[in-house]
Amino acid sequence: MKKINLTFSEEMKLKRLHQSLKDGKKRDRIKTILFLNKGFSYEETADLLLLNEKTIRKIEKWYKEDWKEKFLDDNYVCYSGKLTDKEEKEISDYVEKNMIMDSIIIMNYIYNRFGIKYTRQWVVILLHRIWFVYKKTKKVPSKANLEEQKKYIEKYKKLKAKLTKKEKIYFMDWVHPMHNVENQYCWVKKWEEKEIKSNTWRQRININWAYNIEKQEIIIIDLLLNNKKWLNYYRNII
């Protein structure tokens, strides 16, 4: 006789959660509920999981008497409420407008704002459910100007249309390896990017390059910016 009657949705949710967890103790608790749902006895479930029967009964009690997700908590605390759609929307807006690199920040925000205790594990589950993923930020030029870029594209098209057979267009820029901000992971909407401004400071060795789109040609010049002789030479040749 089955000790627990799970719906199909509840069973699938527990299986997905089991796959996402690395904590062996929590995985055993989930397996306990799934085995009991399949009709295994307390003794059979204990033998399969190498636990004692008393522990199996305790896990079942936790699952039945309290909120079904909280039975995984090590510090077992009664469930104090459920987030409303409005509260979830507020959390979503908070995460979207800020750079959140650790789920504990959101855990504290939920407790301080709504008085509801969430574990870090369930904060992660909540974030995934409201369409956030943990991925790297996207670096963008700190002085990018969209309107100026549009003007430049139009200017480029006109210039390209007037080229003679002997003329070429090169795109030129500086490259300064290992001198910039580093992208980090944070919580971002699944279909969006979190942008951070890149560093524009120049120092030490720079590499100047020119690139021709039509012929796939690349010209590279290495320069030491601190060496005025080389810098003046470069200014003269361009």
The model's pLDDT over 175-192, given as tens digits with 9 standing for 90+, comes to 666 556 667 778 788 778
> In the listed set 72, 96, 117, which residue is the last one of a domain according to the structure?
72
Strand pairing category for 195-197 and 138-140: parallel
pLDDT given for residue 35 in this prediction: 92
pTM: 0.39
The reply to whether 164 and 228 lie within a common domain is: yes
Can you tell me the distance from the alpha carbon of 222 to that of 175, in angstroms, rounded to the nearest whole number? Answer: 10
The reply to whether 177 and 219 lie within a common domain is: yes
pLDDT given for residue 195 in this prediction: 77
The reply to whether 162 and 227 lie within a common domain is: yes
Asked if residue 80 belongs to a domain, the reply is: no
Q: Can you say whether residue 97 is alpha, beta or left, with left for phi > 0 and alpha for psi between -120 and 50 degrees? A: alpha
Per the model's pLDDT, the better-predicted residue between 204 and 111 turns out to be 111
Digit-coded pLDDT (tens) for 126-168: 898 889 998 888 877 777 788 888 898 899 889 888 888 888 8
Asked if residue 1 belongs to a domain, the reply is: no
Whether the CB-CB separation of 2 and 36 falls below 8 Å is answered with: yes
Q: Of the given ranges (26-35, 36-45, 156-165, 192-201), which has the lowest mean pLDDT?
A: 192-201
Can you tell me the distance from the alpha carbon of 72 to that of 120, in angstroms, rounded to the nearest whole number? Answer: 12
Percent of the chain's residues with pLDDT above 70: 78
Chain mean pLDDT for the chain: 79
The reply to whether 117 and 165 lie within a common domain is: no
pLDDT given for residue 164 in this prediction: 87
Considering its fold, how many domains does the chain have in total?
3
Enclosing domain of residue 57: 8-72
